[in-house]
Structure 1
Amino acid sequence: MGCFGFLKAMMFLFNGIIFLAGAAILGVGIWVKVDSGSILGLLQNIDGAPSELEQVQNVGYLLIAVGAVLLILGFLGCCGAIKESRCMLLMFFVIILIVFIAEVAGAIVLLVFKPLAENLIDKFGTEVVESIKKDFGKNKDLTGLFNTTMTTLNCCGFYNYTDFAGSPFVNDLNTYPEQCCENNLPVCTENIAYLSKVPGCFPALVKLIDDNSVIIIAVALGIAALELAAMIVSMVMYCKIGSKRD
């Protein structure tokens, strides 16, 4: 097997895996959206299942989007390699190049314009806190989303427990969410000794990223290397196929 044949086989194998993964993710996403009632009914019958399981329905949209993109990429890569289609290989290259540029641009913005990013985050945080004070305990979707986030990150509010002051939840029940209490006490009144010890979700997320920065950087570099390799292989095949037809 020559160099071109090896590249062709690797391109087909790699993108075949991507295609199958995309098809599986897309199928799960469609199933979640179409049969969400049955899925939720099954999950909610499990002992100790959290009430926030209703948020599972919204995950379907994300799965469908990710699955569709992977499906298209895998199809273009596989068919482009097997059929030696320069058009498909070029489309495959362009899609990955767009994703790669977006990733690099995002990294540059975070590094070079860090103060601007911090201002945007602060502005976003202010809007989130306003939403909490206005709708937490009244809006089912927002309440479920925040409860899930706080349970996952072991945090309370966006910045801290004071974000819930004046919210419908606190006003109606005269208590704070149980995630805001140290040791998740079932009744969490405004007791600074308990409430102040639980970090806000934004500081908790920043700490989580800082603690795992090496892993995150390694994964990001690995993904970037794979994208570069895919672009290089697709362009090499594109040029080889062109030279064979000349």
Structure 2
Amino acid sequence: MKYSMFIFNFFFWVCGCIILGVSIWIRVNEDAQEDLNIDSSLFAGVDLMIAVGSIIMVLGFLGCCGAVKESQCMLLLFFIGLLLILILQITAGILGAVYRSKIDVFVNQTLVETTKKLQSTEPQYQTLQMNFGKLEQESHCCGVMAGPTDWGTNLYSKDFKACECPQSYNKPDVCISYDRKNIYKKTCGTVIINYLKDHMIILMGIAFGLAVVEIVGLGFSMGLYCQINRK
């Protein structure tokens, strides 16, 4: 039982590292698009999973030490901490499921202001326009929700290249002809919505998938605690 508990907690610590790494990766990708004014509440579940991953790493180490030293105090702390983590993790999964169903509404609301800034000719919005242009080139999309019209008169600037398709992507399912320009067919609003939904699925999969592992850990820790008590 002792060595089984140690092996379990080692893998549990590795799971904490994975949760923390994936959650930070999702958050960093979101921060790269912060100029798009996407509501940060959409990432409440991700922030919660970062906290969960950090605590799981600490608990995994605590469980390993408690098993090897046969410390009832450490095992009890591990049990209580793991129970709290399980509750937080299920909450994060539920948050992910709730916000995933509302992503379309949130994105449509928050990107309205971005459309106005894309159409502006004022210098303070040039950084936003440059960043959005990079997003268009990387994601092969054009405009926010309505396509090239979201750029207004900026679309006809001689330096404007963001929406234009290169020859290698000049295909009917990727590019369309608009006012004598070959531009990307897909809107960036659709790309952003799909991006958020896909990452919410990753979040929910991690949260609910590892809940089973944590329940096993609760059984191991309490079993070893009772054996030490009888001993």
The Cα of 1:16 is off from its aligned counterpart by: 4.1
The Cα of 1:229 is off from its aligned counterpart by: 2.5
Q: 2:134 aligns with which of 148, 156, 162?
A: 148
The Cα of 1:201 is off from its aligned counterpart by: 0.6
RMSD of equivalent CA atoms: 4.4
The Cα of 1:19 is off from its aligned counterpart by: 4.3
Instruction: Report the more deviating stretch, 10-19 or 70-79.
Output: 10-19
Q: How does 1:163-202 map to 2 (within 5 A)?
A: 163-166=150-153, 170=154, 174-175=157-158, 177-183=160-166, 192-194=179-181, 197-202=184-189
The Cα of 1:148 is off from its aligned counterpart by: 3.1
**In structure 2, C-alpha distance between the alignment counterparts of 1:139 and 1:82, rounded to whole Å:** 55
1:64-119 CA-to-partner distances (Å, cap 9, x unmatched) read x88776444212222223325222342244234313322223314544xx5xx543
TM-score by length of 2: 0.60
% same residue: 15
The Cα of 1:220 is off from its aligned counterpart by: 5.9
Q: 1:123 aligns with which of 87, 98, 109?
A: 109
**In structure 1, C-alpha distance between the alignment counterparts of 2:56 and 2:121, rounded to whole Å:** 40
Q: Note closer, same or farther for the CA distance 1:124–1:155 as it changes in structure 2 (3 Å cut).
A: same
Q: Does residue 233 of the first structure (1) align with residue 216 of the second (2)?
A: yes
Unaligned runs of 5+ in 2: 25-31, 36-46, 68-73, 169-176
Instruction: Give 1:99's aligned amino acid.
Output: Q
Unaligned runs of 5+ in 1: 27-54, 59-64
**In structure 1, C-alpha distance between the alignment counterparts of 2:57 and 2:13, rounded to whole Å:** 4
Asked if the contact 2:119/2:152 (under 8 Å) is kept, the reply is yes
Asked if the contact 1:153/1:201 (under 8 Å) is kept, the reply is yes
**In structure 2, C-alpha distance between the alignment counterparts of 1:223 and 1:161, rounded to whole Å:** 38
Instruction: Give 1:240's aligned amino acid.
Output: G
Asked if the contact 2:111/2:144 (under 8 Å) is kept, the reply is yes
Q: Which residue of 2 aligns with 1:12?
A: 10
**In structure 2, C-alpha distance between the alignment counterparts of 1:98 and 1:144, rounded to whole Å:** 39
**In structure 2, C-alpha distance between the alignment counterparts of 1:101 and 1:21, rounded to whole Å:** 15
Asked if the contact 2:82/2:218 (under 8 Å) is kept, the reply is no
Q: How many residues get paired?
A: 192
Asked if the contact 2:117/2:125 (under 8 Å) is kept, the reply is no
**In structure 2, C-alpha distance between the alignment counterparts of 1:164 and 1:194, rounded to whole Å:** 14
Asked if the contact 2:16/2:56 (under 8 Å) is kept, the reply is yes
Helix, strand or coil for the counterpart of 1:181? coil
